[in-house]
Amino acid sequence: MTLLDRHGFRPDSFRRIPAAEMAGHPAVILPGAELTAGLLVRGLGQWIGIDIANTIPAEEVAQLANQVDLIAIAFPGFADGRGFTLGRRLRRAGFRGILRAVGPLIPDQFAYALACGFDEVELPDAVAARQGEAAWLADLAIYRQSYQRDYARGENILDARRLARGGGAA
């Protein structure tokens, strides 16, 4: 898998392993079902993340959010947008850790993922090879504004228009 953030491709410091094998690893991602076991054996200074499906209710994840450093939300396909909604709901519920989209997203969706509160996208290697870093960063530069307020900038296209006309932000 290839990891991408707003600056481009980068190495992943987290490793996906079962809770029983997490000792000695500074940053791990556990299957959601193994979170409790992982928290019981968590080492000092160790970062813990969880993998979750995009179908899990945000309220269930929000209860665990203050116990983990990363939440990786699965996107089974680029046409399945439920992960965007879940990510946004987790941010609204107060999650301040790393939010990662995992799956075959496309470059057109990158700016929207960031606007929904995601920090990074983990792509299958085949997708990253087909749509390289330049494509992702180019699309990010194209989609600078959206109609929804986002977590990165706080203003939307309507606020920008209002300010350009001399009015205040909503």
Q: What is the pLDDT of residues 12-40, one digit of tens each?
A: 999 999 988 998 899 999 998 888 888 88
Q: Rounded to whole angstroms, what are the CA distances from 60 to 30, 63, 98, 132?
A: 16, 6, 17, 35
User: Residue 50 above 90 pLDDT?
Assistant: yes
Question: CB within 8 A of 88, min separation 6: which ones?
Answer: 116, 117
Which ranges of 25-109 would DSSP assign to H, the alpha helix? 35-40, 58-64, 82-92
Residue 43 has pLDDT above 90, yes or no: no
Flag whether 64 is in a domain: yes
CATH, residue 100? 3.20.20.70
**pLDDT tens-place string over residues 149-159:** 565 556 666 77
122 within domain boundaries: yes
Residue 109: inside a domain: yes
Q: Could you tell me the residue range of the domain that residue 114 belongs to?
A: 2-145
pTM of the model: 0.84
The Cα-based distances of 18 to 43, 99, 107, 121, 139 in angstroms read: 14, 20, 31, 22, 36
Number of structural domains found in the chain: 1
Query: What pLDDT was estimated at residue 11?
Result: 96
pLDDT band at residue 169 using 50, 70 and 90 as cut-offs: low
